[in-house]
Amino acid sequence: MPTLLEARELGRCLPLGETWLLRDVSLEINAGDRLAVVGPTGAGKTVLLRALAMLDPFDAGEIRWHNQPVADVEIPDFRRQVVYLHQRPVLWEQSVETNLRLPYELKGHAKKQFDRDRVVALFEHVGRDASFLGKPARDLSGGEGQLVALIRAMQLDPGILLLDEPTAALDAATSRSIEQLVARWFEESSSGRAYLWVSHDSEQVGRIAQQVYQMTAGSIQRA
């Protein structure tokens, strides 16, 4: 499978340059990869995902997309293909449907159209019917908010999802729903998609990953 994203010797340090949050991190994400990252709190997992998505700066190394360096002018396009999903996503106070439509108002997605039937089918897959789209975001549970944020990202058809403990503190049923949604997105085009999933749940890692990486003190290696 072709390499989608490659990190080469990434490094990020605190402002005074004395403590490295990431140190010499090299990682390839190929089409069809289902990857998990595990490690203790503070090991650098979130820092890594945000660096891979080019949301935060790094002080050493390089990110490559389809075997090419990512130029500054290409970063907006890159971020549309490599999507980072925080475990506490931000939603506007309007309805679920409004939150799902908002990305299409941005310049980067102006050529795409909101597909209501598609998102209804995704919600039905996890036990919510079409009426769920009218629910105000302020009335959503934490798990429902995660479902909305995940579908908001999936509908834009990114090449890579970077999932930062998306089921942390959720009940088992909702956690499985999120796993099912990610699996559904992946299987739609496994030859062109991949994900990197941070998790502290060893049983979940066994379900969702074909390959596991261990992070310790800003360094990474295969588990």
pLDDT bracket for residue 193 (50, 70, 90): very high
C-alpha closest to that of 179 among 167, 171, 190, 162: 167
Closest Cα partner for 140 from 156, 123, 119?
123
Rounded percentage of the chain residues whose pLDDT exceeds 90:
73
* Beta strand ranges found along 17-81 (DSSP E): 20-30, 34-38, 60-65, 68-69
Using alpha carbons, list the distances in angstroms from residue 152 to 21, 124, 155, 181.
30, 15, 6, 12
Tell me what the mean pLDDT of segment 53-68 comes to. Answer: 94
pLDDT tens digits, one per residue of 71-95: 999 999 999 999 999 878 889 889 9
CA–CA dist 220, 168 (Å, integer): 22
Tell me how far apart the alpha carbons of residues 60 and 102 are, in angstroms, rounded to a whole number: 35
Residues 6+ apart with CB under 8 A from 159: 4, 31, 81, 82, 192, 193, 194
pLDDT digits (tens, 9 = 90+) for 145-154: 988 999 999 9
Domains annotated for the chain, with CATH where assigned, are 3-222 (3.40.50.300)
Give the CA radius of gyration of the chain.
17
Answer whether residue 164 shows pLDDT above 90: yes
Measured CA to CA, the distance from residue 51 to residue 53 in angstroms comes to 5
- Residue 95 has φ and ψ, to the nearest 5°, of -70, 165
Provide the Cα torsion 83, 166, 88, 223; round to 10°: -80
The pLDDT of residue 128 is 92
Phi, psi (degrees; rounded to nearest 5) at 6: -135, 130
Residue 168 — pLDDT band, cuts 50, 70, 90?
Answer: confident
> Which of 106, 83, 223 has the alpha carbon at shortest distance from 160?
83
pLDDT at 191: 80
